[in-house]
Amino acid sequence: MNKFSIRSDFNHSGNKKCAGCGKIFKFSDIQWDGKDIEYNSDTLWIDSFCSKQCVLILKKRAEYETRLANIDNILWKSGVPEIYLRCSFENFRPETQNHLRAVDFLKAITLPLKKSILLFGPCGTGKTHLAVATMRKLLINDPNSNPLFISAPRLIGEIRAGTVGESEFTEEEVIAKYTTNRFLVIDDIGVEKPSAFVAQCWYRIVDTRTANGLPTMFTSNLGREEITEQMGPRVASRLFGCTTIPIDGTDKRGQRL
């Protein structure tokens, strides 16, 4: 730890600001016994000359910043693809009324969600961006929100690998992973080739999550009829029981962040 001279720590106009509460001290305000203290952060200074409360504020702020800095890492571990890791509401530029409505709604969600959410609309209009921004926001508000992100074809692939014994996980383990976490984004639902197996997978995931009171966020380029065709009427009816959010605007692929 460095030893600072308390007197020289006051700026040229003789002031020092408490990093906790922002109160401005004049050198003449402080009760200084002439002995210097050792500190490598403002914590000890504040504790000595302002208040314990300010030290707590400072610690909380530092924890929050560490968590923020760690969020990209958590998102990556949660399955978010590299190119979407930086997506947030802050760097989403709304260009339509639907964008504005979507941002307002998604920013405000808290867990547990009452209803699942479907973001649907054409390619490149920001659906995946908004889904990742929602995960980020949930993580900022609640470190235990345990979100997972998976694309629909990958999820089907993982279940299939479990079924045919090509994975270190059994089919049941894969299903359990995606039906017990608190928030799940299934990206690009409907792009996988339809089959009885695929319909069964969706039914199991969506139905188990619904039964467990766990929300799912879907994104899709398909309209309602196409989704019904792809996923079967049972899943589609579950899906359209959720909050459906239309996303529109221009195609922004190729203009990645």
Ligand X SMILES: Nc1ncnc2c1ncn2[C@@H]1O[C@H](COP(=O)(O)OP(=O)(O)O)[C@@H](O)[C@H]1O
Please work out the total of residues on this chain that contact ligand X, with binding judged by CB under 6 A: 17
* Nearer to ligand X (CB atom), residue 183 or residue 218: 218
Please select the residue that binds Zn ion; options are 45, 49, 54, 171, rule is CB under 5 A.
54
- 204 interface partner picked from ligand X, Zn ion, Mg ion, none, CB below 5 to 8 A per type: none
Q: Does 154 bind ligand X (CB under 6 A)?
A: no
* Nearer to Mg ion (CB atom), residue 127 or residue 137: 127
- H or E element in which residue 75 lies: helix 52-77
One-letter amino acid identity for 249?
A: G
Contact 175, 208 (CB under 8 A): yes
What whole-number distance in Å separates Cα of residue 52 and Cα of residue 234?
58
Angle at 235 between CA 232 and CA 238, to 5 degrees: 145
Please select the residue that binds ligand X; options are 18, 58, 71, 87, rule is CB under 6 A.
87
Q: Which two three-digit tokens encode residue 87? A: 């997506």
* Nearer to ligand X (CB atom), residue 58 or residue 117: 117
Radius of gyration (Cα) for the chain, nearest Å?
Answer: 25
- H or E element in which residue 118 lies: strand 117-120
The binding site for Mg ion (CB under 5 A) comprises: 127-128
The binding site for Zn ion (CB under 5 A) comprises: 18, 20-21, 23, 50, 54
The binding site for ligand X (CB under 6 A) comprises: 87, 92-93, 95, 123-129, 219, 252-253, 255-257
